[in-house]
Structure 1
Amino acid sequence: MPVRVLLVEDDLRVARVNRDLLERDPDVHVVGSAATCAQGDALARALTPDLILLDVHLPDGSGLGLLRHWRAHGLTTDVALITAADDEASVRLALAHGAFDYLIKPFTGARLQELLARHRARRQSGPADARLDQGRLDRLLGVSGLPAALPRGIDPHTLDRVAQALADAAQPISAEEIGEQVHLSRVTAWRYLEHLVRSGRAQLDHQYGQAGRPAKLYRAQRPTDPTP
């Protein structure tokens, strides 16, 4: 599902990095970028994006105040905060004013992809005037049941690092190469990569050409890849 995104971020370097991360997905298009509350408000109304990624600390005010302004004036576009503001009060205010997600900088590319997936699931709930069954309402609320427990020996933070290294690789990569990048042994990296394959987040390719066993190479599961 194509997603048109508006970025509201005053740090141009960060905005550029976020744009690059988002547009790794060929169906995500950053349609505008604003550096102030005033610019963000104008672009939100002119461009009618599907998703707004909003910073809290902006030169002419607070992103939380801008979010409150949008909701007070009937703008129901999905808004997620991407910010260094890590205090609980900011998070609670953002959620109270209708933000559907909140990412604290620095975040992983995998977490940003999860944000996009949640946005897409919410959009699949149906037209705004449609009646909702519980399944559609759960998608709108981002409820998908309890997260599956990770297998014993799989650390979530290490898993994120391996998944990010795999996503950043320009071509299929071996367990040994991933291990060198994230400072793991080849066997440990292989174990995490195999978990990503089993969970549908990576694909395994076999490279033939030399005598003996084919090399095992891994690549991140892209949005356009068929489900294994």
Structure 2
Amino acid sequence: MSAVPLPVRVLLVEDDPRVARINRDLLERDPGVHVVGSAASCAQGDALARALDPDLILLDVHLPDGNGLGLLHHWRAAGLLTDVAVITAADDEPSVRLALAHGAFDYLIKPFTGARLAELVARHRARRGPPPTDAAPRMDQAALDRRLGVAASAGEPLPRGIDPHTLDRVEGALRGAGGSVSAEDLGERVGLSRVTAWRYLEHLVREGAATLDHHYGHAGRPAKLYRHRNGRRGPEEGS
């Protein structure tokens, strides 16, 4: 069963209507992406960001009434945590460093390819965790390290094919499951295929972050069920 991608509601803040139209067309090639608004100035962008509550904001730097990086700083100071990616012709290092310091998760220099824009959207999806619950989500050090880009152990990168943000989503969903789940069930929770979810779950088992049980309640091959292990770290003995 193929996974349904997470829907993404996008706000464009771009003063050139031709560029805004091209970006909208590129984004909406993905049926799960919907551009909910387009602003041509900092003032319009600020108003629409608050009124529309988008999942993702694509922000230009040079705007007629101010600097987009100043708007980004304003949002963060006001507690707006929406994912923001900067898309601009500003290719100087100070602008890049300032954008990242103010919390932009990606930075595209114009002109860029449709594939790179699609990658930006995929990174946004990978950063989004499971649906919010009444209780504030909590993170352990390992999950936080992955989000910060810190290796799991000294100088040791994640295995090939394991994305840190996706791993964070999988572990968060497993922790929130409150019991044992199959790779298929977990994949449906986070929008991944069964095979991809299985690969991440097996990695968590090797890390000692999850346990694996075999369920023999049905005829045929036993089902593999995974459960989050609290107070982790370190590989399981004998794994």
| Residues 69, 33 of structure 1: alpha-carbon distance in 2 compared, 3 angstrom cutoff | same
The superposition leaves residues 40-85 of structure 1 with CA deviations (integer Å, 9 ceiling, x where unpaired) of: 0000000000000000000000000000110111111000000000
The yes-or-no answer on 1:131 pairing with 2:141 is no
In the alignment, structure 1 residue 82 sits paired with structure 2 residue 87 = yes
The one-letter code sitting in structure 2 at the alignment partner of 1:29 is H
Q: Using a 3 Å threshold, how does the CA distance of structure 1 residues 76 and 224 change in structure 2: closer, same or farther?
A: closer
Which residue, out of 39, 44, 62, partners 1:34?
39
SS in structure 2 opposite 1:67?
helix
Q: Structure 1 residue 226: deviation in Å?
A: 10
1:55–1:82 CA contact under 8 A, matched in 2: yes
The alignment status of 1:69 with 2:74, answered yes or no, reads yes
C-alpha RMSD of the superposition: 3.0
Q: Which residue of 2 aligns with 1:12?
A: 17
**Aligned-partner Cα distance in 1 for 2:120–2:28:** 14
17, 35, 50: which one aligns with 2:55: 50
- Name the TM-score, length of structure 1 as normaliser: 0.61
Taking the aligned partners of 2:47 and 2:148, their CA distance within structure 1 comes to 27
Give me the identity figure in percent. Answer: 79
- Report SS of the residue matched to 1:18: helix
Higher relative CO (Cα under 8 Å, sequence separation at least 6) belongs to 2
Other-structure match for 1:173: none
CA 21–140 in structure 1, closer or farther in 2 if over 3 Å, else same: farther
Find the partner of 2:108 among 103, 112, 134: 103
Give CA-to-partner distance per residue, 1:17-61, whole Å, 9 cap, x none: 000000000000000000000000000000000000000000000
What is the aligned length? 155
Distance in 1 separating the partners of 2:122 and 2:149: 10
TM value normalised by structure 2:
0.58
Q: Aligned partner of 1:131: which letter?
A: R
Structure 1: which 5+ runs fail to align?
Answer: 149-222
Deviation at 1:146, TM superposition (A): 7.1
Task: Give the deviation of 1:137 after TM superposition.
Answer: 3.6
Q: Distance in 2 between matches of 1:133 and 1:107?
A: 36
In structure 2, the gaps of 5 or more residues are 1-5, 152-156, 161-190, 197-239
Distance in 2 of aligned mates of 1:95 and 1:9: 19
The separation in 1 between residues aligned to 2:28 and 2:102, in whole angstroms, is 27
Cα distance in 1 for partners of 2:67, 2:51 equals 21
